[in-house]
Structure 1
Amino acid sequence: MKELKKLLVVIDPTSDVQPALARAIELASPTNASITVFLSIFDFSYEMTSILSGHEREAMRQGVIAQRQAWLAELLEGYANDSISIESDVIWHNRPFESIIQHAIAGNFDIIVKGTHLHDKLKSVIFTPTDWHLMRKAPVPVLLVKDHDWPVAGKILCAINVGSEDDDHQTLNGKIIEHAKVLAEQFDAQVHLVNGYPGTPVNLAIELPDFDAHTYGETIRMQHEQRVCYLANGYGISSDFCHVKEGLPEDVIPEIARQLDAELVILGTVGRTGFSAALIGNTAEHVIDSINCDLLAIKPDGYRSPLEEDNS
């Protein structure tokens, strides 16, 4: 994980409390990294006012932007930090996720930090469509934050995939753990690994009378445990912090996160579209609907955002 030098923080325009900004300041403090708070606004009614000229509509848009810039300036007074540079940008754009990603690309930001919504009644985090798009399409890591502190000696849970031995999966596993190790050192946290493995196919047990389902299941379990422990050992992580459980990743990851009372889950997102996204990308999307902690989504090396390709 490279050092975080530039953080892009997405501001919630509906609240004076900004957990994403507070978390970004925590992340930036050790290295005196710079922070840019970003607000994308749009009001369709300004675009539909046909009686106004284009110049008049632009003047109205600039007026709204100026009001929001003044609000941001007042908001940032409460987050003043002598050692950290905090700038602000407000733009007019009808698709927030596109404006965020384009700004991150243009400014060479190292991470996007955005708050999520905690639903009191359900005690779960509610993710917005913008969150989904950022996880799939942002070329930089995306940290989705809820309103809570990261206590000392907290727990960071890395969701890894050892079911495949191809180089891309192995590289992404390493990238996930490296991010966790850096954050663990900064926040004096424990790094845990989690892996869900598939159960015995029911059709095999039915179609093959001599098939030993128990032995098959034990073999798969041991194989996954050995791979996870081998991976953990390479990064100096105790086997006591390895969690291997039968089940789909989208079920196993939230379950272990709850058991550990984890502060952060880190997982990889492939960012594909179409049929391959249905097979691969949905794990992350199912997981974030089921966890009540921060989530850091990381892309594989070499990933290019569709927005980068559109602009190239």
Structure 2
Amino acid sequence: MSIYNKILVVADINKDEQPALARAMQLAAQSRSRSKVCFFLSIYDFSYDMTSMLSVDERDAMRRGVIGQREQWMHKVAKPYTEQNQNVDFDVKVVWHNRPYEAIIAETFAGNHDIVIKGTRKHDVLESVIFTPTDWHLLRKCPSPVLLVKNSDWPENASILASVHVGSENDTHLGLNDSMVEQLNSLSERLGAKPYLVNAYPVTPANITIELPEFDPNTYTDAVRGHHLTAMKALRQKHGYDEQQTVVEQGLPEDVIPESATKLNAAMVIVGTTGRTGLSAVFIGNTAEHVIDKINCDVLALKPKGYVSPLDPKTGA
């Protein structure tokens, strides 16, 4: 399956190195058909809109001047990446918008992009990834898959993990599992990585053994593990995976997934996110987001089929 041929890349205005563009061009180079890459930037300066001494036309001219300067800079920093791959229709776009994530999502809809790729901030001392508010908004509201990239270079002998949720019988989770495996297959082939399916199953709640003295925690744990192993077997057989390519571990996903990523030399982890917004995002907390915060590699976040972004222009949001 050929995927991700219309790629929206978010520029990092703070440095010349563009890891997101590097990953986009890498994906484009391995595509079976010609790809389109849009190198995108949203800029805004409050002072340009509040200068009362200037006319509307003068303010517009100043904005166009700033946009033109940014476009020149983007062409310059993109040159090393585009020169290596001629099989790409490359474009640069700069817009004036005071909310970057809204501008990115609007362009995703307008350009019908397959994926949004954006670099993350790396903390050099702790080697951890710091996700910005824009990152979180994109993970929750972007209609297309979002790939957050840490490093320009793809490591040798790398693997890609899909954080599947096999213990659930919920249709949303089941559909996401299949989508994640499909993406895993395609990306592993294009990036030359080994694919793995990883699942975490819950620890027996301690309070149950206190409240129910006759309760046998070992029997319960064995039953839960057995259920997850059976469900994982069904998923891997459905998609033609070997047992050695699956991991089923007891614990919280936010612990099991990062540990597995480190152990298996993962360069990317694929997660499913339900795209919670509003109060549910604040109080309930999305498992995927807890996982993402602890992963020290690229992260690809997928929405369930049928997901409707709150910023979809067709809904009037």
Q: How high is the TM-score relative to the length of structure 1? A: 0.95
Q: Please name the residue that 1:26 is paired with.
A: 26
1:3 corresponds to 2:3: yes
Q: Please name the residue that 2:197 is paired with.
A: 193
Kindly state the Cα deviation for residue 279 of structure 1 after the two structures are TM-superposed.
7.2
Spell out the pairing of 1:1-312 with structure 2 (5 A cutoff).
Answer: 3-31=3-31, 32-79=34-81, 80=83, 81-277=85-281, 282-308=286-312, 311=316
Kindly state the Cα deviation for residue 47 of structure 1 after the two structures are TM-superposed.
1.8
Are the equivalent residues in 1 in contact too, given 2:20–2:152 (CA < 8 A)?
A: no
Kindly state the Cα deviation for residue 30 of structure 1 after the two structures are TM-superposed.
2.6
Are the equivalent residues in 1 in contact too, given 2:105–2:311 (CA < 8 A)?
A: yes
Structure 1 residues 148 and 83, CA, compared in 2 at 3 Å: closer, same or farther? Answer: closer
Letter in 2 for 1:149: D
Kindly state the Cα deviation for residue 152 of structure 1 after the two structures are TM-superposed.
4.8
Describe the SS at the equivalent of 1:292.
coil
Kindly state the Cα deviation for residue 76 of structure 1 after the two structures are TM-superposed.
2.3
1:177-212 per-position Cα deviation (integer Å, ceiling 9, x unaligned): 100000111222211111111111222100111111
1:98-139 per-position Cα deviation (integer Å, ceiling 9, x unaligned): 000100111101000111111111111111111101110001
Are the equivalent residues in 2 in contact too, given 1:40–1:93 (CA < 8 A)?
A: yes
Identity of matched residues, %: 53
Q: How high is the TM-score relative to the length of structure 2? A: 0.94
| C-alpha distance in 2 between matches for 1:241 and 1:75 | 39
Describe the SS at the equivalent of 2:299.
strand
Are the equivalent residues in 2 in contact too, given 1:270–1:281 (CA < 8 A)?
A: no
Aligned length: 312
Are the equivalent residues in 2 in contact too, given 1:172–1:268 (CA < 8 A)?
A: yes
Kindly state the Cα deviation for residue 274 of structure 1 after the two structures are TM-superposed.
3.7
Describe the SS at the equivalent of 2:307.
coil
| C-alpha distance in 1 between matches for 2:280 and 2:228 | 24
Kindly state the Cα deviation for residue 229 of structure 1 after the two structures are TM-superposed.
2.0
Describe the SS at the equivalent of 2:249.
strand
| C-alpha distance in 2 between matches for 1:148 and 1:244 | 30
Are the equivalent residues in 1 in contact too, given 2:268–2:300 (CA < 8 A)?
A: yes
Are the equivalent residues in 1 in contact too, given 2:2–2:186 (CA < 8 A)?
A: no
Structure 1 residues 279 and 261, CA, compared in 2 at 3 Å: closer, same or farther? Answer: farther
| C-alpha distance in 1 between matches for 2:154 and 2:30 | 15
Kindly state the Cα deviation for residue 260 of structure 1 after the two structures are TM-superposed.
1.3
Kindly state the Cα deviation for residue 281 of structure 1 after the two structures are TM-superposed.
5.3
Describe the SS at the equivalent of 1:36.
strand
Kindly state the Cα deviation for residue 284 of structure 1 after the two structures are TM-superposed.
1.9
Coordinate RMSD, CA, aligned = 1.7
Are the equivalent residues in 1 in contact too, given 2:23–2:152 (CA < 8 A)?
A: no
Are the equivalent residues in 2 in contact too, given 1:265–1:295 (CA < 8 A)?
A: yes
